[in-house]
A and B are shown apart, each in its own frame.
Chain A
Amino acid sequence: MSNYSIAWRIGLLLLLATIGPSALAEQKVHIYNWNDYFAEDTLSGFEQRTGIRAVLDVYDSNEVLEAKLLAGSSGYDVVFPTARPFAARHIDAGLYLALNKDQLPGLDRLDPAIMESLADIDPGNAHLVPYMWGTSGLGINVDKVEAALGADAPRDTWALIFDPDNAAKLSGCGISLLDDPTEVFSAALAYLGKDPNSLEQADLDAAAAVLQAVHPHIRYFHSSQYQSDLANGDLCVAHGYSGDVLQAQTRAEEAGNDVDVAYVIPREGAALWTDVMAIPADAPNPDAAHAFIAYLLDPEVIAEASNYVFYANPNLAARAHLDPSLRDDPGIYPPDSVKARLFVPTERDDREIRRLNRLFTRVKVGR
Chain B
Amino acid sequence: MTPMSASGLPRIARVRRLGRLLNIGVPYLWIGLFFLLPFVIVLRIGIAEPALAQPPYTALWQWVDSGLLEIRISLQNFSLVLEDDLYLAALLGSLQVASVCTLLCLVIGYPMAYAIATAPVRWRVPLLLLVVLPFWTSFLIRVYAWIGILKSNGLLNNFLIWLGLIDEPLQILHTQLAVYIGVVYAYLPFMILPLYANLTRLDRGLLEAAADLGCRPLRAFRKITLPLSLPGIVAGSMLVFIPVVGEFVIPDLLGGPESLMIGKVLWMEFFSNKDWPLAAALATLLLALLLVPFVLMQRLEQRLQSDDDAARP
Where the two chains meet, the residues of A that have a C-beta atom closer than 8 Å to any C-beta of B are 61, 63-64, 66-67, 69-72, 89, 92-95, 172, 174, 179, 181, 215, 218-221, 232-234, 350, 354, 357-358, 360-362, 364-367
Contact = CB atoms under 8 A, between A and B. Distances in A.
Contact of A367 (B56, B89, B153, B256): B89
Contacts of A174: 152
A232 B153 contact: yes
Interface majority SS on B: helix, strand, loop or mixed?
A: loop
B86 A350 contact: no
Interface of B: 50-56, 85-86, 89-90, 151-153, 171, 174, 256-258, 260, 265, 268, 270-275
B55 A71 contact: yes
A172 B272 CA distance: 28
Nearest to B271: A67
B152 A234 contact: yes
Nearest to A350: B52
Contact of B274 (A70, A92, A358, A367): A70
A303 B10 CA distance: 82
Nearest to A229: B151
A219 B256 contact: yes
Contact of B272 (A94, A179, A215): A179
Contacts of A172: 171
A69 B151 contact: no
Contact of B56 (A70, A94, A234): A70
B257 A350 contact: no
13 contacts: A61-B272, A63-B272, A63-B273, A64-B271, A64-B272, A66-B274, A67-B270, A70-B55, A70-B274, A71-B56, A179-B272, A360-B272, A361-B86
A256 to B, nearest CB: 15
B53 A70 contact: yes
Given A64-B272, A350-B52, A357-B273, 13 more contacts: A67-B274, A70-B53, A93-B53, A94-B54, A174-B152, A220-B256, A354-B273, A354-B275, A361-B265, A365-B86, A365-B258, A366-B258, A367-B86
A146 B271 CA distance: 38
B272 A181 contact: yes
Contact of B86 (A215, A232, A362): A362
Most chain A Cβ neighbours within 10 Å, of B85, B174, B257, B268: B257
A365 B176 CA distance: 13
Nearest to B152: A234
B91 to A, nearest CB: 13
B256 A70 contact: no
B55 to A, nearest CB: 6
Contacts of B86: 361-362, 365, 367
Nearest to A65: B271
A172 to B, nearest CB: 8
Contacts of A64: 271-272
B258 A89 contact: no
A63 B52 contact: no
A357 B257 contact: no
A63 B256 CA distance: 20
A93 B152 CA distance: 45
B153 A233 contact: yes
Q: Which 5 A-B pairs have the closest CB atoms?
A: A357-B273, A70-B56, A67-B271, A365-B260, A63-B272
Most chain A Cβ neighbours within 10 Å, of B55, B268, B274, B275: B274
Nearest to B265: A361
Nearest to A180: B272
Most chain A Cβ neighbours within 10 Å, of B86, B89, B271: B271
Most chain B Cβ neighbours within 10 Å, of A172, A174, A221, A358: A358
Most chain A Cβ neighbours within 10 Å, of B151, B153, B174: B174
B174 A220 contact: yes
Nearest to A94: B54
Contacts of B153: 232-234
Given A67-B274, A361-B273, A354 B50 contact: yes
Contacts of B53: 70, 93
A70 B54 CA distance: 5
